[in-house]
Amino acid sequence: MVCATTLLVSFILTKSTVVAYKPTGKYCPQSCEITLDYVSFNDTDAGLSKKIRHCRSDKHITSVYICLNTYCQSYNADIAQWLDEQDTWCYQHDKQHLPDYHDVIGSWSPEQIAQIRRFDYTESQSWPVFDTVVLPNDSLFERTFSTLSMNIRSKGRLAYANKCYRRRVL
């Protein structure tokens, strides 16, 4: 409650405004990334940085891509931009490109996607390690997406709100 109260007081004192909740596409790929940051996969070296593991883990990449396909289909331009940014980062820091999004998605049938294990918020708090592709459940994804989608003018406040969210305070 401290974070939420501090955030509210900060808005009042600085006369900042929070625009009414309006989902935007740029937060959809980030929501997939954040929810899947809570988990690790056993197909990469745990000694590497998390971001490098994200570039190398086929299970992580596939989980992110299927998350994008499941939750963000109406934001194709935002998906393309986000994927380009991730691919650039991976190439600059790990000298490898991410696999093609459409190739990965095309290798999964709707029936296979429907069978993918979903994890919830409570489970995510134990920082689980998986040996298979996973997805956030609808509730966890919506919680993350709605938190990010609030159009807060100050990026610092959005980062602070996200920090509070990750602490399970908001």
Residue type, 73: Q
CA dist 164 and 167 (Å) reads 5
What pLDDT is stored for residue 73 in this prediction? 87
Domain for residue 56, yes or no? yes
Is 113 contained in some domain? yes
pLDDT over 90 at 60, yes or no: yes
pLDDT level of residue 159 (50, 70, 90 thresholds): low
Q: Provide the residue type at 102 as one letter.
A: H
Predicted local confidence at residue 14, as pLDDT: 37
Q: What is the largest CA-CA distance in the chain?
A: 52
Q: What is the pLDDT of residue 9?
A: 36
* pLDDT value at residue 146: 85
**Element containing residue 34 per DSSP (H, E):** helix 27-37
Give pLDDT, residue 154: 44
**All residues at 6 or more sequence positions from 62 whose CB lies less than 8 Å from its CB, including other chains:** 104, 108, 133
The answer to whether position 86 is within a domain reads: yes
3-state secondary structure of 117: strand
Q: What are the tens digits of pLDDT across the range 116-156?
A: 999 999 999 999 999 999 999 999 999 998 888 764 434 55
Over residues 95-124, mean pLDDT: 97
Q: How confident is the model at residue 165, as a pLDDT?
A: 54
Name the percent of the chain lying above pLDDT 90: 65
- What is the spatial distance between Cα 116 and Cα 63, in angstroms, rounded to a whole number? 9
Is the per-residue pLDDT at 96 higher than 50? Answer: yes
Report yes or no on 157 lying in a domain.
no
Domain membership of residue 61 as a residue range: 26-142
Query: What total number of domains does the chain contain?
Result: 1
158 lies in some domain: no
Q: Is residue 15 part of a domain?
A: no
Instruction: Name the helix (H) or strand (E) containing 134.
Output: strand 134-136
Is this model's pTM higher than 0.85 or not?
A: no
45 has a pLDDT exceeding 90: yes
Average pLDDT over residues 50-64: 97
**Alpha helices in the chain, H assignment, sequence order:** 2-14, 27-37, 50-56, 58-71, 76-94, 101-106, 110-114, 121-124, 138-149, 155-166
In this prediction, residue 75 carries a pLDDT of: 86
- Segment 10-31, tens digit of pLDDT: 343 333 333 333 345 778 999 9
How far the first Cα of the chain sits from its last, in Å, is 7
Task: Tell me the C-alpha distance between 134 and 41, whole Å.
Answer: 9
Task: Classify residue 135: in a domain, yes or no.
Answer: yes
Q: What is the pLDDT of residue 15?
A: 38
Residue 42 lies in a domain: yes
